[in-house]
Amino acid sequence: MTLLIQQTVTGLAVGCIYALVALGFVLLYKATGAINFAHGELMVLGAFAIYVGMVSLKLPGWVAIPLAVLALAGVGLVVERLVARPLIHSGIFTVVMATLGVAVIIRGVLAAFLVAQGAGDALPFPKIFPDQAVRVGDITVAPVYLWTIAIAVVLILAFSLFFKYTAWGVAMRATAQDRVVARLMGTRVGQVYALSWALSAMLAAVAGLLLAPVTFLSIDMGTIGLKAIPAAILGGFGSIPGAILGGVIIGLAEGYAGIYLPEGFRNVFAYVVLLVVLMIRPTGLFGLPERKRV
Amino acid sequence: MRLTWSAVTAPLGRAYTLPGKSWRRDLVRVGLWAALAVALWTVPNWVSRPNLHFVILAMIYVLIAASLNLLTGVAGQFSLGQAMFVAIGAYSATILTSKGLAFTLPGLGWAVSVPKLSPLAALVLAGLLATLVGVVIGIPSLRISGFYLALATWALAVVGTEIITQWKDVTGGFQGLSVPRPPLVLDLSWLGLGMPSYAIRRDQDFYYGALVVVVGCLLLLRNLLRGHLGRAFQALRDNEIAAEAMGINLARTKTLAFAVSAFYAGIAGSLFAHFTQFISTRDFTVDVAIAWLVMIVVGGLGSIGGAILGGMFITFLPELVKLANEVLLIPIAKEAIKPAVEPVLYGLILILLLRFEPLGLWGRWQRIRRYWARFPL
């Protein structure tokens, strides 16, 4: 029972990270229609940026982390301007391949960085969260997980409010619904696209900040970031509450699969879920069915 | 009926003649094809041993690119699972030629045993097994398409890789399998071409075997693409609903696209295993499948020429980068930049091509050719 509860907390925390990654991913898809396969790499880049700030430049955490998040916003803007916007009228295949190209470039740069640090495949991440485990009765929880859950909940709430009440949030929703009409209504669609990329990259950086203390700082973290895609599909692609719920469900399911199912299932459980959802209900939990048009 | 030059050259060039074409141009075409054939046949004579290795690898990649280009470029089924088909081909060819396969189906208690096979039989069987898997992987395509299909094939590939990793007693898991060179001996004396027998001992022997298989496959593919099935694939890619309205059976055509593509991929996998003589799950990850997608985008979507250029690109780019590193970069840049050069170049080429030449290098070549089409000849 203790194990179960502990695994639930861990699963919830991991699920929150997935949810944050999925939130950035879906946000971008909703506003611009682009599917960003470099999202996992942006997350890794964010974690590396924090590492550079705290270890190489020896800045305190409260300076380095916001700086890294801002830097990622800049990266998002550059990618939008140079890669995404010129391909705005191309099909989904082209956009996916182009963002894969971005992913390859980021991975190459980070590999060179690792070599320059002389660190092999992974670097230890600087301590951000306290080490002291929190005990409640029999259950011990690492504070990282509690922080993760707290930050994720705050960010998700903030984003819901942002979409609902701010002018930019409304503009993003309008663009998501219909680009042309939004432009006719005076929305600056180009700026909305830029903002979406920046926000999405910033969310990726925060997810990297939360994930890196749990794993090591390595390029393979991006693979974990890709699990946000099953989460987004499970929730219904294009639905933000769905992405969050999907992330949490996948995180929990993986945790339980680690205990109750034979070895190997844990790694692929998210993908099994993805397959089942795609076969049975491609619209996911909250997605709207898409109509095919000639 | 007069026998014209174009009737002779039709199987080699276009199936029709453009107005204003002269027999001289056909003559040139026949000459070029003949020169290419001679060049290909004599490659082991003028290419050094280490380079021959890359040539053979490039041919195998060309076959893989052709299989993926058929599925994704021609039929428009976005697949991230191609590495799975190649893996099935590679593992089944290895297991069938080295020890045969014997296992009991868990639960049912059926004993399955397949004897050791000759490499040729294993080649075909590997292709057929991959076809079977291809049909299964193709099932999601009946309901979903585009990005969702890419995700479904991606998920299947991840699960498949994990199965290969866990099924250690057959596949060797992470450690991989070492593959013996096939003990293939063919008696060719009956051809009367002065070739007494063919046995695979050196890379050079392997080259001829691979050449026959790859060129044969490409010619078959070319015919397939020109026939009604190839047209149906293209219709499927361009607009599913319109294709259906024109009487194309979507389910059947999609399944066929997956089946044919997987067959080619299986054969390529079998060649790959026997050539590299070692396979492990690392050769068939999703990242590898993505690199193959890059290969066909760079080479050219939806054409055999694109597959050929793409296969060459993916093989020779790392070598070119290595060369460029030695010649250019080390004097001016630090050692640390080295690991970044190849991926950055790779990504940049991909993005720039998508932006400025969506049909890849082959599309660019076609443009150049059209530009020079009126060159007096």
pLDDT for A151-193, tens place per residue?
888 988 898 888 889 999 889 888 888 888 888 988 888 899 9
Cα–Cα dist A48/A40, whole Å? 13
Asked if A278 lies within 8 A of B152 by C-beta distance, the reply is yes
Beta-carbon contacts of residue B105 (< 8 Å; ≥ 6 apart): B111, B112
CB B158 to CB A268 under 8 A?
yes
Share of chain A above pLDDT 90, in %: 19
Tokens of A278: 């795609």
Q: CA B112 to CA B61: how far, in whole Å? A: 33
Per the structure block, which two tokens stand in for A98? Answer: 């182009």
Kindly state whether B146 is in contact with chain A, defined as any CB-CB distance less than 8 angstroms: yes
B contact residues 208-247, partner A, Cβ 8 Å cutoff: 239-242
Task: Look at residue A90 and tell me whether its pLDDT is greater than 90.
Answer: no
Residues 6+ apart with CB under 8 A from B144: A278, A282, B152
Among B146, B162, B293, whose Cβ lies nearest the Cβ of A264? B162
- Of all residues in chain A, the one with the smallest CA distance to B163 is A264
| Burial zone of B349 (CB within 10 Å; 0-12 exposed, 13-18 middle, 19+ buried) | middle
Test A112 with B337 for CB contact under 8 angstroms: yes
| Residue with tokens 């050259």, as numbered in its chain | B9
Cα–Cα distance, A176 to A196 (Å, whole number) = 11
The CA distance from B290 to A222, in Å, is 15
Rg (CA), chain B: 22
Reported as a pLDDT band with limits 50, 70 and 90, residue B19 is low
Q: List the helix and strand counts (H, then E) for chain A.
A: 12, 4
d(CA B172, CA B169) in angstroms, rounded, equals: 6
Strand runs labelled E in B226-351: 278-279
Coil vs helix vs strand at B112: strand
- Interface contact A271-B158, CB threshold 8 A: yes
Over residues B79-133, the pLDDT tens digits come to 888 999 999 999 888 888 877 666 665 666 666 666 677 778 888 888 998 999 8
Task: Report the candidate in B70, B97, B74 with the shortest Cα–Cα distance to residue B82.
Answer: B70
Are A101 and B151 inside 8 Å of each other by CB?
Answer: no
B154 — contact with chain A (CB < 8 Å)?
A: yes
Q: How many helices (H) and strands (E) are present in chain B, helices listed first?
A: 17, 6
What is the rounded average pLDDT of the residues A58-71? 88
d(CA B196, CA B2) in angstroms, rounded, equals 40
Residue A115 has pLDDT above 50, yes or no: yes
Report pLDDT for B108: 62
Tokens of A213: 């203390």
Under DSSP, is residue B248 helix (H, G, I), strand (E, B) or coil?
coil
Retrieve residue B42's tokens: 């004599």
Report the range of poorest mean pLDDT among A66-75, A268-277, B11-20, B143-152: B11-20
B155 reaches A (C-beta below 8 A): yes
Q: Look up residue A18 and give its two tokens.
A: 């997935």
Residue A23 CA: distances (Å) to CA of A18, A28, A225:
8, 9, 12
The residue of chain B with its CA nearest to that of A33 is: B147
Cβ-Cβ contacts under 8 Å, A82 against chain B: 351
Interval A221-244: pLDDT, tens? 887 777 888 888 888 877 778 888
pLDDT of B371 strictly over 70? yes
**Residue A89 pLDDT greater than 50, yes or no:** yes
Structure-token pair, residue B159: 């699960």
Residue of B nearest to A263 (CA): B166
- Write down the ipTM of this complex: 0.86
Q: Are A101 and B350 in contact (CB < 8 Å)?
A: yes
Is 70 exceeded by the pLDDT of residue B364? yes
pLDDT at residue B330 is higher than 70? no
Q: Residue A87 has what DSSP assignment?
A: G
**Per-residue model confidence as pLDDT tens digits over B213-265:** 999 999 999 999 988 899 999 998 888 889 999 999 998 999 999 999 999 99
Spatial separation of the C-alpha atoms in residues A8 and A251, rounded to whole Å: 9
With tokens 């002291």, the residue in question is: A132
pLDDT at B185: 62
Beta bridge partners of A202: none
What is the helix (H) or strand (E) element at residue B178, kind and residue range?
strand B177-178
Residue B194 has pLDDT above 60, yes or no: no
Q: How confident is the model at residue B189 (pLDDT cuts 50, 70, 90)?
A: low
Tokens representing A10? 């861990």
Among B140, B242, B354, the residue with its CB nearest the CB of A294 is B242
Whether B19 contacts chain A with CB within 8 A:
no
**Residue of chain B with shortest Cα separation from A270:** B155
Which residues does A80 contact at the CB level (< 8 Å), separation at least 6? A193, A194, A196, A197, A198
Confidence at residue A42, expressed as pLDDT on a 0 to 100 scale: 93
